[in-house]
């Protein structure tokens, strides 16, 4: 009898340890700052990508580039692959891709000097420039202008015809630092005196525009805010359900998401990078790459071109 009691006590203690570990482990992984999240991540073999871990670097290291998750990892690498291969040849130095899930993580790598160059969103640039001196290289141009906007997207068969109709529905944002996928729809809510919690029945963050579009087509959400350039490019693919999508609201135009470099990057490397982007549309190979990316060229932009993004973001704090 005594032995049975000891066995039961041991089992109870072990059970408490296991449950406690799960609880504390969960609390460690999930913080109050986490957002509701849906993942469409596909398994990608290591051989498919030239992905590396960011770490301390030496002068002889390759150019470390990050593709902020404007699109999902596999889509981003596919989109930029030809461009980066050509960049390797022009610079005569290897290019390595360092990927992170969120825009803020990419900014932190730039701040710490753990990557050299990045393709990022507009508010990521504004935040990085204003907090640690992030530097512009160029911005993509389409149809003769370096402008883009946010689309509020729904399914055609949803019965939703406006942003107002999305009240009480399920909604997808992209990233908390996204201008088109977060700041613009949040400004729409603020002007109504509302917030996501009391306007939508539920909401998620997908952390890329193509994933937000898929969330709509697959019925995970009723609407989403996305980068119109990503949307238009995705319409050219075999995306299932693309013919059942419609835009119910469009934002004002913003200067397109730029290519940036970290402060302190070697001056010669920075000059070579800028020349590469500025002259990309002057060669047959460069023109073909741009065409495949749905772009005309890369053009020089200035910090003041992003003041409209600053203004919109300040609106959320007022």
- For residue 167, give the CATH number of its domain: 3.40.190.10
54 with 123, same domain: the answer is yes
The residue that leads in pLDDT, 18 or 190, is 190
CA dihedral of 80, 83, 86, 88, whole degrees rounded to 10: -50
- What are 91-145's pLDDT values in tens digits? 999 999 988 889 999 999 999 999 999 999 999 999 999 999 999 999 999 999 9
- pLDDT higher than 80, residue 267: yes
Q: What angle do CA 70, 72, 74 make, to 5 degrees?
A: 130
214 with 266, same domain: the answer is no
138 with 54, same domain: the answer is yes
User: What percent of the chain is predicted at pLDDT more than 70?
Assistant: 78
For residue 199, tell me if it sits in a domain: yes
For residue 179, tell me if it sits in a domain: yes
Q: What angle do CA 56, 106, 115 make, to 5 degrees?
A: 35
154 with 295, same domain: the answer is no
114 with 239, same domain: the answer is no
135 with 284, same domain: the answer is yes
- What are 39-71's pLDDT values in tens digits? 333 323 333 334 443 444 344 579 999 987 665
- What are 222-243's pLDDT values in tens digits? 999 999 999 988 888 777 888 8
165 with 241, same domain: the answer is yes
For residue 157, tell me if it sits in a domain: yes
The values of phi and psi at residue 306, to 5°, are: -105, 15
289 with 205, same domain: the answer is no
Residue that finishes a domain, picked among 225, 251, 277: 251
103 with 179, same domain: the answer is no
pLDDT at 71: 54
Q: pTM for the whole thing?
A: 0.79
Q: How many folded domains does the chain comprise? A: 2
User: What percent of the chain is predicted at pLDDT more than 90?
Assistant: 68
Strand duo 170-173 + 202-205: pairing = parallel
For residue 77, tell me if it sits in a domain: yes
The residue segments making up the domain with residue 180 are: 150-251
For residue 314, tell me if it sits in a domain: no
pLDDT at 80: 85
Residue that finishes a domain, picked among 251, 277, 293: 251
pLDDT level of residue 30 (50, 70, 90 thresholds): very low
For residue 278, tell me if it sits in a domain: yes
pLDDT at 122: 97
Residue that finishes a domain, picked among 251, 273, 292: 251
Mean pLDDT, residues 280-298 = 92
For residue 33, tell me if it sits in a domain: no
Mean pLDDT of the chain: 83
53 with 116, same domain: the answer is yes
């Amino acid at each position: 009898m005594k032995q049975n009691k000891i066995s039961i006590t041991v089992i109870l203690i072990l059970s408490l340890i296991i449950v406690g570990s799960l609880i504390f482990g969960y609390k460690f992984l999930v913080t109050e700052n986490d957002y509701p999240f849906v993942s469409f991540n596909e398994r990608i073999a290591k051989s498919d990508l030239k992905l590396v871990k960011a770490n301390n670097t030496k002068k002889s290291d390759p150019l470390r580039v990050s593709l902020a998750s404007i699109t999902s990892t596999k889509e981003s690498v596919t989109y930029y692959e030809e461009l980066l291969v050509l960049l390797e040849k022009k610079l005569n130095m290897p290019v390595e891709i360092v990927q992170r899930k969120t825009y803020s993580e990419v900014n932190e790598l730039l701040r710490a000097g753990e990557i050299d160059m990045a393709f990022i969103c507009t508010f990521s640039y504004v935040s990085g420039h204003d907090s640690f001196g992030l530097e512009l290289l160029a911005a993509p141009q389409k149809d003769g202008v370096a402008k883009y906007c946010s689309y509020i997207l729904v399914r055609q068969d949803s019965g939703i015809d406006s942003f107002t109709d999305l009240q009480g529905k399920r909604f997808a944002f992209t990233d908390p630092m996204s201008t088109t996928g977060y700041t613009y729809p949040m400004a729409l809510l603020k002007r109504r005196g509302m917030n996501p919690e009391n306007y939508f029945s539920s909401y998620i963050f997908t952390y890329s525009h193509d994933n937000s579009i898929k969330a709509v087509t697959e019925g995970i959400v009723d609407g989403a805010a996305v980068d119109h350039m990503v949307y238009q490019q995705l319409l050219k693919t075999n995306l299932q359900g693309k013919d059942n999508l419609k835009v119910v609201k469009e934002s004002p135009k913003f200067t397109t998401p730029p290519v940036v470099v970290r402060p302190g990057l070697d001056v010669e490397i920075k000059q070579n990078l800028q020349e590469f982007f500025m002259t990309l549309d002057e060669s047959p190979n460069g023109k073909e790459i741009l065409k495949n990316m749905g772009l005309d060229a890369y053009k020089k932009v200035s910090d003041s071109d992003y003041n409209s993004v600053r203004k919109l973001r300040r609106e959320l704090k007022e």
